A and B are shown apart, each in its own frame.
Chain A
Amino acid sequence: MHPNFMIFGRVVPAYGLMTAIGIVCVVLYYKKFAGIRAEYAGDAEILCVFAMIGTFLGAKVLYVLTQLPSVMTDLPSMISNPCSFCEQYLSAGFVFYGGLYGCLTAMMLYCRNKSMLLKEVAKPMLPMIPLMHGIGRIGCFLEGCCYGMPSEHFGIFFSNSPIAPNDIPLLPVQLWEACFEFLACAIMIAACRHEKSGRVILGGYLLSYAMFRFFIEFFRYDSYRGIIGGFSVSQYISIITLLFGFVILASRHTQSTKENIPTVIAEIVPISTEGSSG
């Protein structure tokens, strides 16, 4: 579609530009609209950085894993021609699910054993995950990667894409996913404002995104993303994510039950005391 832009005389890849816009949006929201208290502002900034690092590493590691046979074949070139190896495997290629779990892992590592940080700093960051992904998907659309199936009636023509087949109408699955992510972001922001639990927000997002991603994978046509047994790698990960979302939501219910136990015991004890005094 439009894989590159000219900015101040330099060629800027569309996906890089959208990533940059995403980072700016995340930082602006986090600093201005997330409502983080002043005493946690420093932690918020550091957590942002941890989350970015975790996202990048996770997305890259999962990409390399999906391309493992090719990586093993090209491994000798890492020594003989490192620039070519880096260009092929390190500068391009990321997988969202890897980025998602990398981000969550980084956040948990930073906030470990500090429940106030989880509540005050990590929870407001959760809506930024779908926001960043949605903006990234627009970059995918501009670049032409992650393209959809051919469709004469609902397809969009790509003309300059280095990745998508040009001059063939393809379903704009990238835009569908971007719309879903922006909607999820809005709902998560509203949930944060209404003081909903972080587990509910995260579990709900994982459940909904896993189901959506499993469904939309049937409309994608870029086979290089990896197909095993008729399903894509992302569909298998979506099943795992669905289960993980259920576990997170169930753990919230278990925590609420544990918090209510003292109340239940207090109601039982006076009855026992009255019976024994008689």
Chain B
Amino acid sequence: MEQNVLGKGKATASLVLGIISVVCWFFGYSAIISVILGVIGLILAGKARKEGFEGGTRTAGFILSLIGLIGGAFVFIACVACASALATSAGQEALASALIG
């Protein structure tokens, strides 16, 4: 019984952070808060499991934190090793003329 109590606080905190993380996703730039809260929520869910708490609260917190984190990824992660500002239209024109020539 003591094992069930142990970790319950962290599981509850994970659930709360997961809910807030999902809500923040829908307000544009607040998606960065979704990422941060999602990360913290996932760590808390993992710590709750390490302490032996396996309830639905923990599972819900884990899933909602993951969804909030992924929602943040939608908004902020655009491309790997690319800076679209650097791929200027001038570069594209130079490439096109090189192919034609």
**Residues on A facing B (Cβ under 8 Å):** 12-13, 15-17, 19-20, 23-24, 27, 41-46, 48-49, 52-53, 59, 63, 67, 70, 88-96, 136-137, 139-140, 143, 145-146, 150, 162-166, 168, 221-225
- A93 proximity list for chain B (CB < 8 A): 79-83
> Smallest CB–CB gap between B47 and chain A, Å?
7
From the candidates A13, A53, A136, A163, name the one contacting B87 in the complex (CB within 8 A): A163
Query: In the complex, which residues of chain B have a beta carbon less than 8 angstroms from the beta carbon of A49?
Result: 39, 42-43, 46
* Inter-chain contact A96/B83, CB cutoff 8 Å: no
Contact of A13 among B45, B47, B51, B74 (CB under 8 A): B74
Knowing A42-B47, A92-B84, the reply to whether A16 touches B74 (Cβ < 8 A) is yes
Q: Mark B70-96, 1 if CB is under 8 A from A, else 0.
A: 100111111111111111000110011
List B contacts of A46 (CB < 8 A): 42-43, 46-47, 50
18 additional contacts (CB under 8 A) given A42-B46, A45-B42: A13-B74, A16-B74, A20-B73, A42-B47, A42-B51, A49-B42, A70-B86, A89-B83, A91-B76, A91-B77, A136-B80, A137-B80, A140-B80, A143-B82, A145-B82, A145-B84, A164-B87, A224-B86
Q: List residues of B whose CB falls within 8 A of some A CB.
A: 39, 42-43, 45-51, 62, 66, 69-70, 73-87, 91-92, 95-96, 99
B94 to chain A, nearest CB (A): 9
Among B42, B73, B77, B99, the one with the most A-chain Cβ atoms within 10 Å of its Cβ is: B77
Min C-beta distance of A248 to chain B, whole Å:
25
Decide: B78 and A48 in contact? CB cutoff 8 A: no
13 A-B pairs whose Cβ atoms sit less than 8 Å apart in the complex = A20-B70, A23-B69, A53-B39, A63-B81, A90-B76, A93-B80, A95-B80, A136-B80, A140-B79, A222-B82, A223-B91, A224-B83, A224-B87
Contact of A150 among B45, B76, B95 (CB under 8 A): B95
Q: Which of A162, A163, A222 has the most CB of B within 10 A?
A: A163
Q: Which residue of B lies closest to A162 (CB)?
A: B84
Are the C-beta atoms of B78 and A16 separated by less than 8 Å?
yes
B80 touches A139 (CB 8 A): yes
The 6 tightest CB contacts between A and B, nearest first, are A42-B50, A145-B82, A45-B46, A42-B49, A46-B46, A92-B78
